[in-house]
Amino acid sequence: MLSKLPVLKESAGLRYFTFFYLYIMQGIPSGFALYAMVNYLAGKGISSSSVGTFAAIVGIPWIIQFVWGPIIDRYQFSVIGHRKHWVVLTQTLAFLASLTLLLVHDPVKQLTLMSIVFFIHSNFASVQDASVDAIAISIVPDKERGRVNAFMRGGYLLGIAAGSAGLSTVLHYYGFFYAAAGQSVLLLLMTVLTFCIRLDSADGFIPSFKFKSTVKPAAKDLDNPDLKWLFRQLYNGITEKVSLRTFGIIALVYTCNSIFIRSFSFHIIHNLHWADNAVSVLQGGWGTIATLIVTIGGGVIADRMGPGKLQLFVMVGICLFLVLFNSFGAMWAHKPLTITGLMLWNFADPMFSVAAMPMLMALCRKKVEGSQFTAYMAMVNFCDVLGSYISGWAMTYISAPVIGMTCGCIIFIVVAYKIVSKQPATKPAYAV
């Protein structure tokens, strides 16, 4: 009966749905760890440096994610679909790692143990993410990339909402055990769903890392180059001038975004004495549907307008928001203003991602597109981890409004550089 269902390569609707829920699955643990738990620890009086260190530990596996791309590309074939065996395997291991969170009874007293468990989970989740990205970039047509990235980011936002607002509420009313158990149940259900979805009509359901005996050696060698070749092509693709310039702009904006939101969240919990659960709900709950609509709309715009133009408009919007909002930092004690700022900021990251991801996809070289895109994602994740660490360190010396204003000024410089340099929005000749 499952064999009669549509497959990813033949159904655009199934592609949108699949990448949407796969990113929901990735967002749930991120929302739980990096929003619900970070805010919870800040609310319990943990220092900004300790909270920043916890967030950095959770994010470290996403920094070294680039290592997995070439391995996934090297061993991509399976009877259940190219690279799908990696997704199913790592989703299962991530679920088992999530279960070990049940060993944590007091997150504050057992902060080290909790950090280790989240670190282990992040390792499996990062391989899962790399596998999903590799599948997406290999089967999604160019004309759909903006919309698929919008569904990806939209799914991630919904997962963040479930992990941040949903699990934060469970955490405060029922305790950490039930929050961790709730996450584990959701991950298990989505793993079963992944098992049932096929990439191609010829795919089966039993995983295998072995190649079919009918594949000719020459074709096998062509489709599965050795790791040395993969890493060399990966290095050449990333170090191209257009790649360095394009990604450098994206990385700087992501880092500034991370620095601002981490310092802002810590400030309103630690200095303004907001309830950490209230902040988690605002960051991941209210406005999620509106954000999803705007994000998916942004994907359509990116496909029609071009991601380069959309990226410039979004950067200008982020710059203006940071400068104006942080100039009223002395008035953050007024909740309506601060709530408005949090709600508006929910649109910043997804809209920028909708523009940035298709641009990075366009830079990827054939045969290593999965590896190269995964490397970009690893560096983007590094930007988020670096931003968490910098914000924790910076807040021991300067206030959150000053930090946010500085981030706005840096993005203004980036916007000016992009306009003056007239950076081309077209993709390189070697791009897919």
Lowest mean pLDDT among 18-27, 50-59, 94-103, 185-194: 50-59
Higher pLDDT, 408 or 82: 408
In a domain, 428, yes or no: no
- pLDDT of 188 higher than 70: yes
Higher pLDDT, 212 or 168: 168
Owning domain of residue 416: 2-206+232-421
CATH number for the domain spanning 354: value is 1.20.1250.20
pLDDT confidence band for 426 (50 / 70 / 90) = very low
Give tens-digit pLDDT for 358-406.
888 888 877 677 778 888 888 887 888 788 788 888 888 899 999 999 9
Q: For residue 365, report the phi and psi dihedrals to the nearest 5 degrees.
A: -85, 150
Q: How much is the average pLDDT of 223-237?
A: 75
pLDDT confidence band for 425 (50 / 70 / 90) = very low
Q: Which of 206-215, 288-297, 307-316, 379-388 has the highest mean pLDDT?
A: 307-316
Q: How much is the average pLDDT of 207-234?
A: 56
In a domain, 39, yes or no: yes
Q: How much is the average pLDDT of 300-308?
A: 77
In a domain, 217, yes or no: no
In a domain, 273, yes or no: yes
Contact 383, 258 (CB under 8 A): yes
Whether the predicted model's global pTM rises above the 0.95 cut: no
pLDDT reported for residue 157: 80
Lowest mean pLDDT among 12-16, 77-81, 390-394: 77-81
pLDDT confidence band for 171 (50 / 70 / 90) = very high
In a domain, 215, yes or no: no
Distance between CA atoms of residues 344 and 318, nearest Å: 10
Average pLDDT of every residue of the chain:
82
In a domain, 113, yes or no: yes
Query: How many domains does the chain fold into?
Result: 1
In a domain, 65, yes or no: yes
In a domain, 306, yes or no: yes
